[in-house]
Chain A
Amino acid sequence: MDCSYFRERINQYVDGEMDYMEVAELQAHLSFCPDCAAELAQVGEVRGALAAWGRLELAPPPGFAERVTAAVELEPALGAAKPFGQAVNETLQKLDDTLGRIPLPGGRTIPVKNVIGWGLAAAAVAIGLGRRHGRRSRELKPL
């Protein structure tokens, strides 16, 4: 196998997504291929630098805490009646948290509440069409 095969797998290696045999195969290649070994080292350096960056704390802009506190003071008191839109959003969010999500092929997920919503909408359309069809049938009944 040539280097391109192994280079495509370096990311899987650093993400710990290879099985034992694949790791052994890659390590054997790295032991005699300085170019691939260098690429692996560079990917490791990038990840190390990013992780180190993530451990640093940035200074927020001056007055940030005061602006947040002012925004919080405009919020309705916790436990008080909420605006209708916010109450609806929070209820939907709670439904999402409670019902979870359905995994789809390819790693996508959809909220269970959406599936229920589509089901209810489809049922409503079907009932509406059924009634309309029934009325038409009665109207067209031959004498």
Chain B
Amino acid sequence: MTASNLHKWATLPDPSPAELARAAEGDAQAFKLIVERYQGMVYSVAYNVLGNHTDAEDAAQEAFLRCYRKLPQFRSEATFSTWLFRLALTASVDYKRRERRHPEPVETPELAAEAAPQLGEGVDAATIVAALRDLPEDYRVPTVLRDVYGLPYQEIAEATGRPLGTVKVMVHRGRASLRLKLRAGGAGPEQGPAGARPRSDA
């Protein structure tokens, strides 16, 4: 994944071994503390892969259930946040492959802290959300996995079950489409609130 993004999630404070042990023994309250700490990360991944709130909530919940079931197998070779990040990506991509829903109208998601972020010259959160929303489904998932989360092409091919060459073509087309949309000042008008706020530590 992109070094900066991996670094960001990897620097979230991991639960202590005692907290993890309690959660792995089935202590629902201990697990709730983990959910509260990491819900933003897991939900963000699910939203970016799936592109709408309803599916993102379902997939994020599925990611936490997988985390709960696999917690006894967690080994501290990776940080907990990196391990959970991968679970969230896998759960979201699996959800996308399983559910072929028509996307609902997309609201700009609320971010977790104050002040609207600038993501580039003249590019704000609403522009990115709208541009990603308007990408064809087949382009959006590989492009998000590659350029939002920095996954290697081979890993994207395995996750999506598509040939490596096809994945590359989809990402290239996704970038070309996004380039045109961002140059044109974003996609269509937004529906709903545009209360985009970055994390306080972002």
Contact = CB atoms under 8 A, between A and B. Distances in A.
Interface of A: 11, 15, 42-43, 45-61, 64-65, 67-69, 71-73, 75, 77-79, 90, 101, 106-109
A43 B183 CA distance: 11
Given A42-B183, A73-B28, A107-B167, A59 B148 contact: no
B65 A71 contact: yes
Given A50-B147, A75-B68, A57 B44 contact: yes
Interface string B115-155: 00101110101001000000000000001100111100110
Given A49-B120, A71-B61, A58 B28 contact: no
Contacts of B150: 51, 54
A108 to B, nearest CB: 5
Contacts of A69: 28, 31-32, 35
Nearest to B47: A58
Given A65-B39, A68-B61, A109 B158 contact: yes
Contacts, number: 162
B165 A50 contact: no
10 contacts: A11-B171, A15-B153, A53-B119, A53-B148, A58-B110, A61-B57, A64-B43, A67-B61, A68-B61, A107-B164
A106 B168 CA distance: 12
A60 B61 CA distance: 11
Interface of A is mostly: helix
B91 interface: no
A56 B199 contact: yes
B32 A49 contact: no
Contacts of A67: 57, 61
Contacts of A71: 61, 64-65
Interface string B27-64: 01001100110011101100110000100010011001
B179 A52 contact: no
Contact of B158 (A50, A61, A64, A101): A101
